[in-house]
Amino acid sequence: MSVHEQFADDLSLYALGALQGEERLAVEKHLQDCPDCRRELVQLQGDLALLALSASGPKPPLRSRKRLMAAIAKEPRRTPVRLVKRKTWWTALEWAAAAATVVIVLLLMRQNTDLRRRLADLQADSAGQQRQLIQAKELISTLTSADAEHFTLVAGKIPPQPQGKAIYVRNSGTLVFLASNMPKLPPQKTYELWLIPTSGAPIPAGLFRPDTHGSAALIKPPLPTGVEAKTFAITVEPGAGSATPTSTPIMVGIGE
Amino acid sequence: MSRAASNVVSPDAMLVSAIRSGDEQAMAQLYERYSSIVYSVALRVLGDTGAAEDILQEIFMQLWRSPDVFDATRGSLPGWLAVITRNRAIDSLRKRRPETDITDVIVSIEPDLVGGAELSRTLEKIRGALGGMPPPQRSALEMAFFEGLTHTEIAEKTGEPLGTIKTRIRAGLLTLRKAFNP
C-alpha cells in the first residue's frame, strides 16, 4: 500500500484521535482525496482494535447484565409496532398481489386454452363448411351446367315421359327441382313451378325453360319458410311468369 | 492469518438485525459475547470498575437504541466495539463530550480472531507482539491509546522529541499488524 509518507505518522495519530486543529483538518482533507490513505486508516483502526483487545480479561459483574436488560425493558419499544404493522400491511399487499397475479395467470392460461380450442373448432368448422361449399358448388354446377348430359332410365321400350322431381325442405323453404324430357315451348312461353300448400293459394316456385334435351333445374328458388306442401305442379305461363296459375297444370306431383 | 475486513454477513450481523427489530434475546446474546471486551477496555482506560460499568451500559444501550450505527459490511463487531469503547472511555476520562462519530469507525479485523476459542490465541499473539516491542515504543503506544495522551503530551511527559513519539506510535501499530500478517 502506498501511503503518502508525509501523512504516514499523522494517520496513526488521527486514528488515535490525537490530532487537533490544523493538523487534523489537513489529514481529513487529504483523506477525502486519497483512497490509499483511507484504506490505511481502516487498517490502523484494526491495529488499534488489536491493541484494545490486549486489555481483555476482566469480566463485568453480573449486575451489569441485569442493569442493561432492565434498562432495555424500560425503553419505549423502538417503533416495533409501527414497523411490524407496516410490514404486515405490506406483506398482506404483497401476498394479495402475488395471489392476484396467480389468479390472473391461471385465468389467462384458461382463456388461452379456450381460445385455442375455439380456434381449432372454428378451423375445423371452416374446413368442413368449405368442403360442403365445394360439394354444393360442384353439385349445382353439375345440375345447371349447359354441358351436362342427362339420361333418363326407363323399363322396357316405353318412350321417356316428361318428368319432374322436386325435393323440398319445409322448415328452411329449400327446394331443388329437376325436370327431364320436357316438351319444347313457344318463345313467348315459360314453364312455372308451383308449390301447392295444404291450405291457401299456389305459391310461385320458379320459372324454367328446358334445354335442347328437355332438361331443366331450379336450385333454391325464393320460397317462404314453414309452408307445408301438399304437392307441386307445373303450368305453362307467359314469358314473364304469373303470380297465380293462368292455365291448367300440365304436371302434378303424386307424392312418394 | 488475514486481518482484512470481511464483507460476508456474520452471525453478529444477524444478531444486530434481530436487535433492530427489538429482539431482547438477541441483545442478551450479544452481551454474553462481547461484554467482557467492552468492560475490559473501559476498565483499562478508566481504572475504575464503576466507571467501566457505566461505559459498558452506555455502549450497549447505544447499540440497542441505534443498531444501525454498526454496519456489518464495514468491519467486525468486536473490533468496532473495542475501538468505540476506548474512544468513549477516553472522552469520559477527559470529561469531554464524545468527539468521535462512531459511525466513522471502520475496523479491519476478522470476527474469527475474537470469537470463541480463537480469542485466547489472538490475545497470546497480541501480548507477544507487545512484549516484543522496545519498551519506549510500547509505552508510547499504550499512553496514546489507553491514556488518551496526545503525541505532544507524551513528548512532554517523556522528554522525547515529538517526531520520535510519532514514529514510535506508528511503528508500534505496524508491529501489531505484522504479528497477524507476517
For the cut 50, the answer to whether the pLDDT of residue B7 exceeds it is: no
Does the B116-182 domain belong in CATH 3.40.50.300? no
Cβ–Cβ below 8 Å for B80 and A49 = yes
pLDDT tens-place string over residues A34-87: 888 888 888 888 889 889 988 888 899 999 999 999 999 888 765 543 334 444
What pLDDT score does A230 carry?
92
What pLDDT score does A86 carry?
46
Probe site for chain A from B31, B76, B92, B109 (most A CB atoms < 10 A): B109
Cβ–Cβ below 8 Å for A49 and B169 = no
pLDDT tens-place string over residues B15-42: 888 888 888 899 999 999 899 999 999 9
Cβ–Cβ below 8 Å for A53 and B82 = yes
Instruction: Tell me if residue A7 falls in helix, strand or coil.
Output: helix
Beta pairing, strands A203-208 & A229-238: unpaired
Mean pLDDT of chain B: 82
Strands in chain A per DSSP E: 163-169, 174-180, 189-197, 203-208, 216-219, 229-238, 251-252
Least confident of A79-88, A182-191, B124-133: A79-88
Query: Which pLDDT band holds residue B59 (cuts at 50, 70, 90)?
Result: very high
- With a pLDDT cut of 90, the percent of chain A lying above it is 29
CATH annotation of B1-111: 1.10.1740.10
Probe site for chain A from B142, B157, B170 (most A CB atoms < 10 A): B170
Closest-CA residue of chain A to B63: A72
Cβ–Cβ below 8 Å for A80 and B22 = yes
pLDDT tens-place string over residues B98-121: 555 555 555 555 545 555 567 778
- With a pLDDT cut of 70, the percent of chain A lying above it is 80
Whether chain A has a CB inside 8 Å of the CB on B168: the answer is no
- Residues of chain A with Cβ-Cβ distance to B86 below 8 Å are 48, 52
What pLDDT score does A197 carry?
94
Smallest CA–CA separation between A97 and chain B, in Å? 25
What is the spatial distance between Cα B88 and Cα B93, in angstroms, rounded to a whole number?
9
Query: Which pLDDT band holds residue A104 (cuts at 50, 70, 90)?
Result: confident
What pLDDT score does A82 carry?
39
What pLDDT score does A227 carry?
92
Whether chain A has a CB inside 8 Å of the CB on B29: the answer is no
Burial label for A202, CB within 10 Å (0-12, 13-18, 19+), is buried
Residue A55 CA neighbour count, 13 Å, CB half:
28
Whether ipTM > 0.85 holds is no
- Please give the residue that has the higher pLDDT: either A21 or B133: B133
For the cut 60, the answer to whether the pLDDT of residue A2 exceeds it is: no
Q: Where in chain B is the domain with CATH 1.10.10.10?
A: 116-182
Residue among A44, A51, A71 whose CB faces B57 most closely: A71
The one-letter code for the residue type at B111 is: P
CB proximity list for A208: less than 8 A, separation 6 or greater: A177, A179, A190, A191, A193, A216, A217, A218
CB proximity list for A175: less than 8 A, separation 6 or greater: A166, A167, A168, A169, A195, A205, A206, A218, A220, A221, A223
Q: Where in chain B is the domain with CATH 1.10.1740.10?
A: 1-111
Whether chain A has a CB inside 8 Å of the CB on B89: the answer is no
Instruction: Tell me if residue A20 falls in helix, strand or coil.
Output: coil
Probe site for chain B from A40, A43, A67, A79 (most B CB atoms < 10 A): A43
Grid cell, residue A218, equals 331450379
What pLDDT score does A160 carry?
79
For the cut 70, the answer to whether the pLDDT of residue A194 exceeds it is: yes
Whether chain A has a CB inside 8 Å of the CB on B83: the answer is yes
